[in-house]
Structure 1
Amino acid sequence: MIDDNPSVYKLVSCVGWTTADELYSCSEDHQILRWNLLTSETSLVVKLQEDLFPIDLHWFPKTVGGKKQSQAEIFVLTSTDGKFHLVSKTGRIEKSVEAHKGAVLAGRWNYDGTALITAGEDGQIKIWSKSGMLRSTLAQQGSPVYSVAWGPDSDRILYTSGRLLIIKPLQPSAKVLQWKAHDGIILKVDWNSVNYLILSSGEDCKYKVWDSYGRLLYTSSSHDYPVTSVSWSPDGEVFAMGSFNTLRLCDKTGIGTQTLS
């Protein structure tokens, strides 16, 4: 249990890993916290401005092909104001980009750091350059897209559509895979490039683990509140799940191993 410094006081809206031992979280109290899993220490990175409500965060990949990336010290933070923000490790906002009508519900770098994908309340999925220039609109849904993730080879994307999960190849002629995954709206997904496993969580207060073909491997018991965030550690050995006043680590099979708050 990590409980000495700042804690998660409200809904945990998003979690993101820098390494297998360091985790960042954002919540409705506008705080970005850093969790050191080796020392069990928690620290406040920054208190965001009161009118910025974070929804999702994702770190720029640290290494590509074994080479350290110069942009590895930034993350993308999406928010309710229709923008995504490029933020330094110290919490400084380096750039803000108008991206969607309504909230930007998800933002993810691809695995080689050459592109960023966002999904919005407007039902659109867009691909951006790493500097924030719009490249294309990949999909248009009739309802909000709450979460999106790149496939392990960055040649497919996984996104939500109500209770459905959809895997869409970037190649237009390739087959789309979709399946009903939850009994409520799906709020968050993640797809790991090491173990190839998919995470999903939703308003049915459960999180689930799937293989890349949509086959169910694990489903959690029902929690007291919707599970609003799930995120793989870079090595694929554990993942974090967040809910109201809750941040917990689970092993790759889905079993909870450590409660952080």
Structure 2
Amino acid sequence: MALTVGLGLGLALLFSLIFVKELYMLFAGVLVAFTAFELASALRFAGLKIPRVAAVIAAVAVVPASFYWQAEGQWFVTLGGIVFVWLWRLVEVVVMPSHRGSVRSIMRDLGAGVFVMLYVAFLASFTVLLTAQDGGQWWTLAMLIVVVVSDIGAYASGLSFGKHKMAPNISPGKTWEGFAGAALAAITAGILLALFMIDQPWWVGLIFGLVILGTATMGDLAESLIKRDLGIKDISTWLPGHGGFLDRVDSSLLSAAAGYALFLIFS
């Protein structure tokens, strides 16, 4: 089941990026909707009253804005979405007695709404912003390939040789040996993709691989820290064998912003 789910997501991603760019908006919009709902639900489990419907609406709105209106749309709609989530929460305070609380708790709720918008919608929208550029779909695909290859390298190397824990208080399963395997895989993939996919010299591929390796690792650790703080193993169980959508895209969120920055620098 885990392989079937992974294969289905991968094929949908490839089709949308390679054949019809506009379809990637649909793919990204669905992922953003589920991921925003998951994270908002997990934070509600921790006692933060985030309006999930508002969070999903605001998060999804960032996707077409980033595709059609580029960076200006991305920024303005993200900020507008934050205000929308805030207003929804404040209306709940006024009209729903069960959703009221202290000023401090309401401020925490508003802060959590900002977190969902920035962590999920804003970071994920960089893949849409990148895909919308001329030839940007290949940079998006290259970034995602490096993320996946890095994850596979870390898993294989850590399983075979892992002894020294990287961050035991955050993610006990991560080892420095696994990180070394991820680095080798990411650098190799970055160089090959630079030469044969995004038409760049090998040294750009080296930089590309190292940067995405760093952001993917930090993204994975960040989500592990969130789950540890919330006291949960997976954000959700919607994807059999994979956990939740956020469990699958955590490494790609920071990497999306990094990939867009590298595109602007080198393309």
Query: TM-score when scaled to structure 2?
Result: 0.23
Larger radius of gyration: 2
Query: TM-score when scaled to structure 1?
Result: 0.24
Structure with higher RCO (Cα < 8 A, 6+ apart): 2
Q: Which has the higher strand share?
A: 1
Q: Which has the higher helix share?
A: 2
